[in-house]
Amino acid sequence: MVNSRAKGSRNELKVAADLYEALGIKFERILDQTRQAGLGDLRPVTGTFPFTLELKHYKEGVQARPEWWDQAITAAQLAGNYPALLYRYNRQPVRCRIPLQAVIDMPEFNVYAGGGNPYDWRYACEVDFDTFCMICRELM
């Protein structure tokens, strides 16, 4: 258990550093997540950010586990943001799962502005880290 917590902590700090480098936004770990269910893993130190971040790092696998996405959705609903699941397996790049609604809501692509129903967050897409950061910039 101690090793998995340390691994999770290192992953959170690494992602926070990568997000700062890509977006210029400082993030901090949400330490209450270990005591209170339904919280994300990182939050911006200042300002707003369109996503609630759920981070996972496991030894091996090929895709995101459904329960991870459910966890990300729960945290995002509580925070009032879009969910974002950033996960990786050892020796693999970070993958980012976000709801299609986030892409649809980007100003350049918002084809139904002012009308229609939002898509259920179960409809999601996966992108690489750089694409995720581009979507973040567009939504901010």
Mean pLDDT per block of 10 residues along the chain (140 residues) reads: 69 93 94 72 91 93 91 93 94 94 80 64 92 93
Q: How far apart are alpha carbons 19 and 21 in whole angstroms?
A: 5
Phi then psi for 61, rounded to 5 degrees? Answer: 160, 180
Residue 113 confidence (pLDDT): 55
Residue 77 confidence (pLDDT): 94
Whole-prediction pTM: 0.86
In the block, tokens 């340390």 appear at: 6
